[in-house]
Structure 1
């Protein structure tokens, strides 16, 4: 077996510190020609659970490994996958592997250690006390908040959440010291307050209000139905903020929060742009009350769920028929919002492709005047986050007390998230800022909600 001394091996990770949505470049030099090595990434997440990923490489004739250009021969992924060590992070053995990674403390970066080990090692070997010291290791930090981003807890009337404002001198977007385009960011059935996407949007020049909807602060612990009045108050808070452009605000949400986003776009005139990700177009599980009208939900019958050979439930089989769902569909054609529907082609939770196409057909049949489009991503699963979030194929859901299959693979999920993240930013910046500032109608744009403020 080819071996080399630790002193000869140089592991390079560039950059050593970056934002979470940025890629890194990993290279190893000083190995023997054709030497087998294992690259490993490890970290401790906010709850104290150790995470790891690993991949097997073979050095070239010069004793070098370039992860950007060379194939992994095994481990947690195979083939060329430059960000595989980050996108494939999972709880280390013997911890339960299929849990969803959620960054809870956005002020604290991910501290990832990347190391190179001799030979092609298994996960169990890498985690055992018998594993030998690595040839080399490098400390790498991944930040959710760019320098200068402001994190502001919000208590405004009944509304609870956290507002993230971009740095005062955000030169990349030429925004200066604001005001900034702004969005409401929601996560549905998770409850509590989830801030990581808002922190990342603010790092890219978009003010983002991470909105709690239940089980946070003095909000109800459980939810029976939603009332549009709560979200109207959140929109009012944003539009009146001195650092927010008043051309209208955006909304973004995944899964259940996706149908909430569509509800806001439908019933609140000042919502100008909506990004809905892997969601239903009808209220799921919880209905929406709009003044004296109630839009009823549909419910999953979890007893109809199909289980995979690995014991994970695919709840798509619990979903009512398309014709039934169309009867409950939200009247989104009554909106004046631009819509972007993000769809994962192998979503194992929501038939999101069908839902998004149904929405597009409905808008088209009503000759909808605003922009609307569907972006579909092959190989991606239901849980769709900003780039380089560790992929979760399945996880335990307390709401149904079962492990749920979400679908997708780390490689395709990462590729999809990189592309979608850029599209989401372009979509919000255009519809919340650029089309008003640079159109011929800038001096007198049609903004009917202004009279309501």
Structure 2
């Protein structure tokens, strides 16, 4: 977890200026519920407590949030107060609800679509300029989600609001239209210069900014880069040109606040193999963070300067249906059978960090990582780190992003299975985030950064 010395504090007047209650309001004025800190960055843990209950009283804690589309997300947990009428989520175990056992960040990490919503909905933070606003309520007795959400549900004993920010104080968000490059640059507060990275996602397309915003909040300038289905870029994943990514790197290195002469790259899923390609074919990319990707160039041909790297294809006939979602684990061809698609990372003058979810059901990330490492070892290279996480699925996000087992995917035109188990997956995200930040600072500044 982020240590206390790394926590960015927000003004105590920040919440009140937005007309958000920081004290619990209750049907019973004796009961109070608190989230500490009441306002923080999204990658920071919080402490949740309830006071003023009867000794050994059974209660339900309910966390609630709406996204920019007004989709309602909730989580619940059942606790039993101690002999002093207190519940401390930091030290006590949940007896039921969205999770059981000891899970201090469980109420945030297990947020999921409410019973009235489409269940295969993944939470995306689209508007990083504004925080997520969460409401925490405590109810008498152990209640189901349906009982908590019912219009005739009993009144909460107490409620409070909590804000989670993606952009720390002073972080700048700058839309980018540079040549053909489309994206958003996030700059940390201060004069810099800062280590810079190109930040990419997968086959959903469009532009996702939330990871870049959080990287900038931790001292790394990040270019959230779109590469299809955004603005005037191609609508589909037909082919790529390495020149597009070269232009993105050029943009970063021309910026006065970016540390010279090198940058890094971060990518998940399709963005993962793009990271390997950038590090292999663009000399200025010296650090690559691969998150549940492939060791081959997947799906679409990559046009190089004087050659073409073919795309590794899919066999959609191998899709299986699991609990209403498509399990695509077997559909991507084995790169070993199509060596012409494999990215020659042994030629890269860069360091690699492989973050692997061992329960990824979208891609065979474990196998792809093993093939990549085997290739590096055969070439006598030791320029890599591998961090594998048990019971962790495909979507390794920044800390406390709500766990998503399956969700609708535009490319497949249906719900897709991502894999993972909530508690270990959320904990893996904490560790992976710290590991990534340390790796980027070490390899782009030759020193550990102070967060």
Please give the TM-score of this superposition, normalised by the length of structure 1: 0.91
Tell me, in whole angstroms, the C-alpha distance in 2 between the residues paired with 1:293 and 1:16: 54
Contact 1:247/1:436 (<8 A) preserved: no
Give how far 1:29 is off. 1.1
Give how far 1:132 is off. 1.1
Q: Give matches, 1:334-349, under 5 Å.
A: 334-349=347-362
Q: What residue in structure 2 maps to residue 381 of structure 1?
A: 393
Contact 1:247/1:433 (<8 A) preserved: no
Q: What residue in structure 1 maps to residue 18 of structure 2?
A: none
Unpaired runs of 5+ in structure 1? Answer: 169-176, 438-453
Contact 1:114/1:139 (<8 A) preserved: yes
Q: What residue in structure 2 maps to residue 431 of structure 1?
A: 443
- Report the CA distance shift for 1:61/1:99 in structure 2 as closer, same or farther (over 3 A): same
Q: What residue in structure 2 maps to residue 27 of structure 1?
A: 49
SS at match of 2:446: helix
2:155 pairs with one of 115, 133, 144? 133
Give how far 1:435 is off. 5.2
1:213 pairs with one of 224, 227, 237? 227
SS at match of 1:75: coil
Q: What residue in structure 2 maps to residue 443 of structure 1?
A: none
SS at match of 1:385: coil
Contact 2:441/2:448 (<8 A) preserved: no
- Whether 1:293 aligns to 2:307 is yes
- Whether 1:53 aligns to 2:75 is yes
Tell me, in whole angstroms, the C-alpha distance in 2 between the residues paired with 1:325 and 1:31: 63
Q: What residue in structure 2 maps to residue 268 of structure 1?
A: 282
Give how far 1:103 is off. 0.3
Give how far 1:434 is off. 2.1
SS at match of 2:206: coil
Q: CA RMSD in A?
A: 1.5
- Report the CA distance shift for 1:258/1:140 in structure 2 as closer, same or farther (over 3 A): same
Runs of 4+ residues deviating >4 angstroms: none
Q: What residue in structure 2 maps to residue 302 of structure 1?
A: 316
1:415 pairs with one of 427, 431, 446? 427
Give how far 1:304 is off. 1.1
Give how far 1:322 is off. 5.2
Tell me, in whole angstroms, the C-alpha distance in 2 between the residues paired with 1:287 and 1:316: 22
1:162 pairs with one of 160, 184, 188? 184
Length, aligned pairs only:
424
Please give the TM-score of this superposition, normalised by the length of structure 2: 0.92
Q: What residue in structure 2 maps to residue 106 of structure 1?
A: 128
SS at match of 1:28: strand
Q: What residue in structure 2 maps to residue 444 of structure 1?
A: none
SS at match of 1:318: coil
2:417 pairs with one of 405, 421, 424? 405
Tell me, in whole angstroms, the C-alpha distance in 1 between the residues paired with 2:28 and 2:222: 46
Contact 1:357/1:374 (<8 A) preserved: no
Tell me, in whole angstroms, the C-alpha distance in 2 between the residues paired with 1:304 and 1:195: 33
SS at match of 2:100: coil
Give how far 1:26 is off. 0.3
Give how far 1:402 is off. 2.6
- Whether 1:247 aligns to 2:261 is yes
Tell me, in whole angstroms, the C-alpha distance in 1 between the residues paired with 2:232 and 2:341: 31
Q: What residue in structure 1 maps to residue 237 of structure 2?
A: 223
Contact 1:393/1:408 (<8 A) preserved: yes
SS at match of 1:6: coil
Name the stretch that deviates more: 232-241 or 327-336.
327-336
2:246 pairs with one of 232, 241, 253? 232
Tell me, in whole angstroms, the C-alpha distance in 2 between the residues paired with 1:401 and 1:230: 28
